[in-house]
Structure formats: structure tokens, C-alpha cells
Amino acid sequence: MNDSNFPTAAQVIVIGGGIVGTSVAYHLTKLGYTDVILLEQGQLSCGTTWHAAGLVGQLRSHVAMTDLIKYSTKLYSDLEAETGLATGWKNTGSLAVARSVDRMTVLKRTAASARAQGVDVDVISAKEAGDLWPLMETSDLQGAIWLPGDGKANPTDLTQSLAKGARNGGAKVIERVKVTDVIVKDGAVTGVKTDKGQIDAEIVVNCAGQWAREIGKMCGVSVPLHSAEHMYIVTGEIEGVHPDLPVMRDPDGYIYFKEEVGGLVMGGFEPEAKPWGMDGIPDKFEFSLLPDDWDQFEILMENAMIRVPKLAECEVKKFYNGPESFTPDNNFLLGEAPELKNFFVGAGFNSMGIASAGGAGKALAEWIVNGSATTDLWPVDIRRFANFNNNPSWLHDRIKETLGLHYAMPWPNRELDTARPFRRSPLFDRLKSKNACFGSKMGWERANWFANAGQKPEIEYKFGRQNWHDNVAKEHRAVRESVAVFDQTSFAKLLVQGRDAATILNTICAGDVDVEVGKSVYTAMLNTRGGFESDVTVMRIHREKFLLITGSAQAIHDADWIERNIPQDSHVTLTDVTSAWSVLSVMGPKSRDVLKQLSKSDFSNKAFPFATIQEIDVGYATVYANRMTYVGELGWELIVPTEFAAGVYDDVMKAGEEFGIIDAGYYALEGLRLEKGFRAWSRELHPDINPFEAGLGFAVSMDKPGGFIGRDALIEHRKNGAPRKRIVQLVLQDPDAQLWGGELVLRNGVAVGEVRSAAYGHTLNASVALVQMDHAEGVTKDFIESGDYEVDLAGELFKATAHIRTPYDPKSERPKME
Ligand SMILES: Cc1cc2nc3c(=O)[nH]c(=O)nc-3n(C[C@H](O)[C@H](O)[C@H](O)COP(=O)(O)OP(=O)(O)OC[C@H]3O[C@@H](n4cnc5c(N)ncnc54)[C@H](O)[C@@H]3O)c2cc1C
């Protein structure tokens, strides 16, 4: 193309001609967006895509993510028929083998969750695994699982085939054009500058792989990813290796194998990765590799020789060391950037880009065309990160651990160890000195539980009861029987204010929040499908000021959702005030007695009823006290200016001494809320479930004046009879069994759903779970109550009782979930 033919405008520009960019362009054209230009600085697939091993495994821990890859496999098998260009897709199936008993437990849990997610799977013996993969040493194996739907593809061919499909649909794919800047006007993207000229555009999509962070920096968008070296070898031909040989993974050895031209590809995910590109990613890195690093590869090679002894005799034809971008939590980054309107990101694929690209490209294209995600994409939503996650030193240290997570033991409640502590509450040192064991959420260090004197505040991971069980029991009982304090400073806090704040918030929230000053309303923010975008507490602290408290991980997401729905000419502003306030939750039947010692305020039911907020004095501090609870007991959330938090905490602990006050952590909170059946965002509540299905009808005000976003969908839903899905509480009958979440639930022997959250309920003396039950003919009261339930715990079935209303304490501090 000569310069005079160079385009000057397009509806959509996609930056990056790897597998992800071409998939986005392809799917945009399928959705009727034909004025699309894809720009690639080198040649198609020349970045990371060309040297991928091409494994496509369908199963992920989140059902929506599994669905994306299931779609990829279908697309990759059908694409050649459409475009005439082969994709190299081969449905070989895949095996995962277990060396240890714990790993076998993982595989059995995986098999159960595969069944819950509709993925074909079989648990097989070591011998059967050996029959499928005769070159493998099996004498040390406990067993394996077999996933017949998995396979492999050729990444370069796939990219070419997607590009052809995109061109056929009207898109222009232009190679050898480098984007040098992103043009922004009035908070929205308006085009790009390139080394060949400027192109105006309504929408720009950043699919620049490991360069995506730099592209983001051109326009103030955080794309938190960092490159790491990633390696595999290709051997010469080996007798017995044939194109239909399944993909084989041996996670205890950190390795995988697949066939390639009669030999084996062997690569893996070593526990400590080697970050790369600290001084920036070179522009000229076309079809390039990094130097071989046998030292870094040694741990993989040693393990590979144990699994496939024949490797010792064969020739290594090629060592591939290519950089790939990794993110802080091992999930990719998708969606419209909260910082810049009409600027989308699809990057950071954590060595899953080939498997994910089909589904991720479709999901991103739908997001662009519809203006919002069309399904639950929270695990990969770019809004789960904030600008502080883009800190290069932090990213560098974190991704050393991220790469290895692929094959690390997925222990229940496993915490990441690197790049911590990151965000600290003002009480961090105090809680640390009291033996807190910290976990991390949205970067915050949060006390999960408190160790006894002489006990190490460390988790001993296992699938049964862990070492903190009794510590948490004590915290749990204190909340139910006397009083405890939770440091909930990590809550996200948003201040929405202005003359129109009440009116606008009332259209964004499904409940009626246009209430008297001093009222707190627990409600939902819904999308147009009626699904949850968030659940929040809205506190009216002034006629024109509302303080919103939402989950720690939701600050960016919720702020973005609200700002998007504020009409341009209205008088409303939103400020994230998370760092300005700490939250100390004083919970339990003695909480009133404790606070009375410290404050002149009246805490009686009459003067301070449930779901109200008042500004009160606590010691020398002036704080907001919100009478609300997530544990189902009497209690107040003290919302304290950060600089007063330490003083208030000390005062509360001193005043509480005579009532036996103790510190409690997030593990106790989880058990307490699950006993009460309280739902949590991103677990039970997600964009594909509405308040009636979730049992939160009380949080919706269908008839309030002016309506609200999602109301039409809820009206339609009500016309359709019984909900097809519903959140139901299950209590295990065996008091010793431990649930963690993700387990398969059977009703009368047939799969009916998956455990969304679970914990031990120390008041009920059993594991308690919230389950999403799905049933096409409707999940009626009769359907729930007439079933016999079992939970599949790593292959063993445990009987459970289903409850629509919680079996614990009918005198709830919050309206009942029905
Ligand atoms: C050794 C190795 C093995 C792997 N094995 C597998 C596997 O088995 N299965 C799997 O699913 N995944 C695997 N992966 C991961 C997979 O390769 C990546 O996730 C995927 O290729 C990422 O695709 P992408 O389109 O995001 O990035 P890329 O392929 O890097 O594409 C981004 C493109 O953007 C272009 N670009 C950058 N900046 C600009 C600019 N300013 N202007 C214009 N263009 C620009 C680049 O040139 C590049 O071509 C592997 C990766 C490695 C390194």
C-alpha cells in the first residue's frame, strides 16, 4: 500500500496482528462492524503468537471462562471450512497425571467441576493413562484424568485463517504500520498516529500483546502486565509418537508434552519465572526469540526425563525461549478501559492466548458492539485492577510467581506470596503484632485469622480442615455470643454528590435510595439484562451526598459503572474516597455495650435503628456509625477517618475488654455470612443472575418513580414463571467434611449446579454452601424441597440438606433472603 492509499479513518482500529487482534477483527465483522482496520507493526503473528506451543485445554476454574474456550475449540475446528485456510486444529484429547495423593485429589475435584461445567471428563487409572500415552512412565503415578474434547492448534495458521475471515468480512489488515500515539479528545479516544500517518477512529482496541502496557501509557490507561521468559524444546522424531497422541500434562513436574512432526514438544511452567523486558520491550522483535537458558529449563528437563525416559536418548532439535506477558493474577485483561472512553484492551494472556483467543475475541467484539459485556467476564475484566497495579517494580516481582501458578497446587484459599505487603491499613502493624495471618485482596493486606500465642500465623494448606479451623471457631463464637472487631478498611468507598445525585443514583440502583438523610440502603446495581453489576450499601449522609460502600475488589468497576450512567449535563460527581476512611466493624450481641462506653450517642433500637447511619463521637474521634451487618448479628460499621483509625481501634479494644472482645478475620466473616445465607459479589452475585434468582428481591424497588436500569428485564423475567436458576443454601450432614467452593452438586443423582461459596459454619457445626441451581423447567420451592442432595468432594459423595431460608437464627439483622 503506498502512502496515498493509506486510510485516514475507520470505525474501529485494532492494534496488533497476533492471534488476539485478528480474532477481535474477525468477530467484529461477524457482528456487522465492517469498517475495521487491523494494524500490525511487523507481520501477522510475529510477536508472541508464532512461537506458542498451541495447546488448547478447555477447563478453567470459572464456568464463564470455560465457556469461552469451549467456543474457541468449536471455532478452530470449523474455521478452515469457512476461510479455506487450515488452523492445524486437532482434537487429540488431553491427559493430566498425578504423582501425589494431593494432586489426585485436585484431579478428582477438577473432574467434578468439569462435570458441573459441562466438559467431558473421565478419572482414569495410571495404567489407563499409560495405554493412552505408551511412552510415559506410570509406575510412580496415582492416576489421571482424561479430557477428550481438548486438543492442539497451529498458532500461526490460526492467525492467518482468522485474518482471512476478517478480510472476507470487510476488515482491512495492514502490516508494517506501527502505532506511535493514541489520540484523545474530551476523555474519549479519537484515533491513532502511526509511522505512516494518522487514522481517525471511533473505537481503538489495544491487542498489542506484551507491548500493550506501553500503548496504554500513550493515553493514560493502565494495562498491568509484565513479560517473562517462557520455554519449550522440540525433539527429533521418536518412535511411537504420532499426530493423534494426546496432549499430556504432568503438573507435579511442571511440564507438558505434545506431538510435533513426529517428535515431542516439551515445555512447562517452572515455580519461579524469569521476568524479561524490564527496560521496555524492543520494537524490533519480529519472529524473534531469546537466548536458550538451560539453567532455567533444568527443573523442567529433569522432570520430563522422569516422565518420558526416552527423552534421554533423543535429539533436541530446537530450544524456544519466547517472552509472553503475564498479569498479577494469571487471568487476562479484557474490556473498555475505565480511564478512556471507547478504548478497549485485550491483552496479557498468561500463556493461554491460543486457547483463549477465539472466545476472548468474540467476547470483546460483543462488548464493543453492545457497549457492555454480554456475559459474566469479571475474572478477566480490566476493571479488577487499579493504576497502582501498573507499578513496574511490583509487576516484576509478582509475575515471577504468576507463571508457575499454572501447575502449582491449587490449594483451597491459596494466597500469593510475592510482592507483598502492598496496601496496608493503618491497623496493619497492630494486627500483625497480635498474630494476624494476612491474605491479600485488591492488594490490601487483610487479617484472615488470628493465631494463638506461640502458634505461627501461617496456613498449612490441605484439602481437609486446615490448621486455623479452631482459631476461626473461636472468632466465630465471639461474634455470635459476645463481640469482635473486624478491620474492613479494604472496603471500597465512593462519594457521589451533587444536586442531581439522588435522582441519578436512584436510576442506577435498583432499590430506592432517595431516602431521608441518615438512612442506609443495601441494594443492587443492575445491567440492562437485570443481572448484578454490583451489590452496594448506599448511605445518605447529606441531602446531596451519598457514601457508597462496596467490595474491596470493586472500586474501579463500580466507579466506572456509575460514571458511565451519569448523564453528561447532570450535576453529579463521583470521588473514590477509599483511602480517606477506615472501617472497623464492631459485631456481636455485646457491641452496643462496648460502644456505649466510648460515646455519648444513644445506641438503642429506637434512637439508632437498623439500616441507619449517624455521625457520632467515639473517644476523641468523630466517625460515621452505620448499623448494618454482614454476619447477621447486632453491630455497627464504624467509618473512621484514616488518621483516627488507630486511636478508635485502641479505644474499642480497651472498652471491650470486660465483654471479652477479640479480633476476628475474613475467614470467620465468610463462615458467619454463609450461615446466614448472605450473598457476595463475584461469587453468588454476577452479571448473569438477577435479584429474584439470587433471592434478593428485597433489594429492588420495582415501583419507585422513574424506574431503574434493569427494571424492564426484571418485568420480563417475572412474566416467565419460576426462575431457571436460583441461589440455595446447602448444609452438609457430615459435620467433619470440609467444602471450599467449586464442588459439583447432585440432586437425586443428577448434576444441578456448582458450589459458589463454602465455609465451615461453627454455629451449625457443618460445612455451609451457597449453590447456584440451574434447571430448565424452573427452580421452584417444590423442586428445591423435594430433592435429595449430594456434594461431590473429590469423587466422594456427601449428603446435604437444601434450605431456601437459613436454618440459623430467624432474628436476622438484615431482611431475609428469599
Ligand atoms: C513459549 C510459549 C509457549 C506458549 N504456548 C501456548 C500454548 O500452548 N497455548 C496457549 O494457549 N498459549 C500459549 N502461549 C501463549 C500465546 O502465545 C500468547 O498468549 C498469545 O500468542 C498472545 O497473543 P497476542 O495477540 O495477545 O500477542 P502477540 O502475538 O504478541 O500480538 C501482539 C502484536 O501486536 C503488535 N504490536 C505491538 N505494538 C504495536 C504497535 N505499536 N503498532 C502496531 N502493532 C504493534 C506486535 O508486533 C504483535 O504482533 C505460549 C507462549 C510462549 C511464549
In the prediction, which pLDDT does 818 show?
A: 31
| Residues 172-199: tens digit of each pLDDT | 999 999 999 999 999 999 999 999 999 9
Ligand 1 within 6 A of 20 CB? Answer: yes
In the prediction, which pLDDT does 812 show?
A: 52
| Residues 283-323: tens digit of each pLDDT | 889 999 999 999 999 999 999 999 999 999 999 999 999 99
Which of 27, 37, 49 has most ligand 1 atoms within 8 Å of its beta carbon, as the pocket-test mutant? 49
In the prediction, which pLDDT does 807 show?
A: 86
Cβ 203 vs Cβ 288: under 8 Å: no
Three-class secondary structure of residue 808 per DSSP:
coil
Cell of 749: 443423582
Ligand 1 within 6 A of 695 CB? Answer: no
| Residue 3 clears pLDDT 70, i.e. is over it | no
Q: d(Cα 695, Cα 79) in Å, to the nearest integer?
A: 42
Ligand 1 within 6 A of 268 CB? Answer: no
Confidence band (pLDDT; 50, 70, 90) for 115? confident
DSSP structural state of residue 623: E
Cell of 807: 436454618
Ligand 1 within 6 A of 227 CB? Answer: no
Cβ 663 vs Cβ 485: under 8 Å: yes
Q: Whose CA is nearest to atom 3 of ligand 1?
A: 52
- How much of the chain exceeds pLDDT 70, in percent? 98
Sign, CA dihedral 497-503-507-513, equals positive
Which of 37, 46, 48, 221 has most ligand 1 atoms within 8 Å of its beta carbon, as the pocket-test mutant? 48
Q: d(Cα 619, Cα 649) in Å, to the nearest integer?
A: 10
Ligand 1 within 6 A of 23 CB? Answer: no
Ligand 1 within 6 A of 355 CB? Answer: yes
Q: Whose CA is nearest to atom 16 of ligand 1?
A: 353
Cell of 501: 445525585
Kindly report which listed range (282-286, 445-449, 511-515, 713-717) carries the lowest average pLDDT score.
Answer: 282-286
Cβ 380 vs Cβ 364: under 8 Å: no
Spatial neighbors of 630 by CB under 8 A, at least 6 apart, are 585, 669, 672, 673, 678
Radius of gyration of the chain (CA): 27
Which numbered atom of ligand 1 lies nearest the CA of 256? 8
> For the whole model, what pTM was predicted?
0.96
Average pLDDT over residues 346-353: 97
Ligand 1 within 6 A of 484 CB? Answer: no
Which numbered atom of ligand 1 lies nearest the CA of 348? 26
Amino acid at 172: K
Q: d(Cα 475, Cα 667) in Å, to the nearest integer?
A: 9
- How much of the chain exceeds pLDDT 90, in percent? 94
| Residues 565-591: tens digit of each pLDDT | 999 999 999 999 999 999 999 999 999
Ligand 1 within 6 A of 209 CB? Answer: yes
Q: How far is the CA of 322 from the centre of ligand 1 (A)?
A: 10
How far is CA 708 from each of CA 27, 500, 525, 546, 574, rounded to the nearest angstrom? Answer: 32, 15, 9, 17, 19
| Residue 817 clears pLDDT 50, i.e. is over it | no
Cβ 352 vs Cβ 37: under 8 Å: no
Ligand 1 within 6 A of 359 CB? Answer: no
Average pLDDT over residues 553-572: 97
Ligand 1 within 6 A of 256 CB? Answer: no
| Residues 133-177: tens digit of each pLDDT | 999 999 999 999 999 999 999 999 999 999 999 999 999 999 999
DSSP structural state of residue 291: P
Kindly report which listed range (50-64, 265-279, 421-435) carries the lowest average pLDDT score.
Answer: 50-64
Q: d(Cα 800, Cα 746) in Å, to the nearest integer?
A: 10
Spatial neighbors of 71 by CB under 8 A, at least 6 apart, are 358, 359, 362
Which numbered atom of ligand 1 lies nearest the CA of 54? 8
Q: How far is the CA of 417 from the centre of ligand 1 (A)?
A: 27
Ligand 1 within 6 A of 42 CB? Answer: yes
Spatial neighbors of 580 by CB under 8 A, at least 6 apart, are 493, 641, 642
**What angle do helix axes 155-168 and 63-83 make, rounded to 10 degrees?**
70
Q: How far is the CA of 19 from the centre of ligand 1 (A)?
A: 7
Cβ 253 vs Cβ 303: under 8 Å: yes
Q: Whose CA is nearest to atom 37 of ligand 1?
A: 208
Q: How far is the CA of 344 from the centre of ligand 1 (A)?
A: 17
In the prediction, which pLDDT does 816 show?
A: 36
Ligand 1 within 6 A of 394 CB? Answer: no
Q: Cell 483463549, residue?
A: 356
Q: d(Cα 275, Cα 397) in Å, to the nearest integer?
A: 8
Ligand 1 within 6 A of 51 CB? Answer: yes
Q: How far is the CA of 474 from the centre of ligand 1 (A)?
A: 50
| Residue 813 clears pLDDT 90, i.e. is over it | no
In the prediction, which pLDDT does 118 show?
A: 84
Cβ 537 vs Cβ 521: under 8 Å: yes
Cell of 178: 506501527
Cell of 778: 424452573
In the prediction, which pLDDT does 625 show?
A: 98
Ligand 1 within 6 A of 360 CB? Answer: no
| Residue 506 clears pLDDT 90, i.e. is over it | yes
How far is CA 320 from each of CA 43, 232, 233, 255, 399, rounded to the nearest angstrom? Answer: 19, 5, 6, 15, 20
Q: d(Cα 296, Cα 229) in Å, to the nearest integer?
A: 9
Cβ 153 vs Cβ 125: under 8 Å: no
How far is CA 2 from each of CA 44, 176, 197, 556, 617, rounded to the nearest angstrom? Answer: 19, 12, 12, 43, 73
DSSP 302-357: HHHHHH-GGGGGS-EEEEEEEEEEE-TTSS-EEEE-TTSBTEEEEE--TT-HHHHH
Q: d(Cα 124, Cα 179) in Å, to the nearest integer?
A: 51
Ligand 1 within 6 A of 277 CB? Answer: no
- Calculate the average pLDDT of the chain: 96
Which of 225, 247, 324, 333 has most ligand 1 atoms within 8 Å of its beta carbon, as the pocket-test mutant? 324
| Residues 316-348: tens digit of each pLDDT | 999 999 999 999 999 999 999 999 999 999 999
Q: d(Cα 159, Cα 353) in Å, to the nearest integer?
A: 11
Average pLDDT over residues 54-75: 90
In the prediction, which pLDDT does 811 show?
A: 56
DSSP 375-406: S--GGGBGGGS-GGGG-HHHHHHHHHHHGGGG
Beta-bridge mates of residue 586: 485, 636
Q: How far is the CA of 247 from the centre of ligand 1 (A)?
A: 21
Ligand 1 within 6 A of 304 CB? Answer: no
Q: Whose CA is nearest to atom 41 of ligand 1?
A: 179
Cβ 51 vs Cβ 290: under 8 Å: no
Ligand 1 within 6 A of 19 CB? Answer: yes
Spatial neighbors of 677 by CB under 8 A, at least 6 apart, are 695, 729, 770, 803, 805, 806, 817
Q: Whose CA is nearest to atom 15 of ligand 1?
A: 351
DSSP structural state of residue 470: H
Helices (H), 443-500: 469-481
Q: Return the beta strands (E) in 33-147 as ranges.
A: 36-40, 55-56, 94-98, 122-124, 143-147
Q: Whose CA is nearest to atom 20 of ligand 1?
A: 353
Percent of the chain as helix, strand, coil, to the nearest 5: 30, 30, 40
Confidence band (pLDDT; 50, 70, 90) for 60? confident
In the prediction, which pLDDT does 169 show?
A: 98
172-175/197-206 β-pairing = unpaired
Sign, CA dihedral 301-305-308-313, equals positive
How many other C-beta atoms can be found within 10 angstroms of the C-beta atom of residue 185?
8
Ligand 1 within 6 A of 457 CB? Answer: no
Cβ 286 vs Cβ 43: under 8 Å: yes
Q: d(Cα 140, Cα 806) in Å, to the nearest integer?
A: 46
Ligand 1 within 6 A of 348 CB? Answer: no
Ligand 1 within 6 A of 225 CB? Answer: no
In the prediction, which pLDDT does 815 show?
A: 45
Ligand 1 within 6 A of 273 CB? Answer: no
Ligand 1 within 6 A of 352 CB? Answer: yes
Q: How far is the CA of 588 from the centre of ligand 1 (A)?
A: 52
Q: Whose CA is nearest to atom 26 of ligand 1?
A: 209
Beta-bridge mates of residue 318: 234
Spatial neighbors of 233 by CB under 8 A, at least 6 apart, are 265, 266, 267, 297, 301, 316, 317, 318, 319, 320
Q: How far is the CA of 233 from the centre of ligand 1 (A)?
A: 18
- Reported as half-sphere exposure (CB side, CA atoms, 13 A), residue 225 has a value of 34
Strand order in the sheet with 545-550: 520-526, 532-542, 545-550, 492-497, 573-576
Beta-bridge mates of residue 520: 539
Three-class secondary structure of residue 790 per DSSP:
strand
Ligand 1 within 6 A of 228 CB? Answer: no
Ligand 1 within 6 A of 16 CB? Answer: yes
Q: How far is the CA of 23 from the centre of ligand 1 (A)?
A: 12
Q: How far is the CA of 755 from the centre of ligand 1 (A)?
A: 35
In the prediction, which pLDDT does 64 show?
A: 85
| Residue 655 clears pLDDT 90, i.e. is over it | yes
Q: d(Cα 804, Cα 403) in Å, to the nearest integer?
A: 41
User: How large is the greatest C-alpha to C-alpha distance in the chain, in angstroms?
Assistant: 84
| Residue 247 clears pLDDT 90, i.e. is over it | yes
| Residues 736-790: tens digit of each pLDDT | 999 999 999 999 999 999 999 999 999 999 999 999 999 999 999 999 999 999 9
Q: How far is the CA of 442 from the centre of ligand 1 (A)?
A: 27
Q: Whose CA is nearest to atom 49 of ligand 1?
A: 47
Cell of 446: 487483610
Q: Whose CA is nearest to atom 19 of ligand 1?
A: 353
Confidence band (pLDDT; 50, 70, 90) for 805? confident
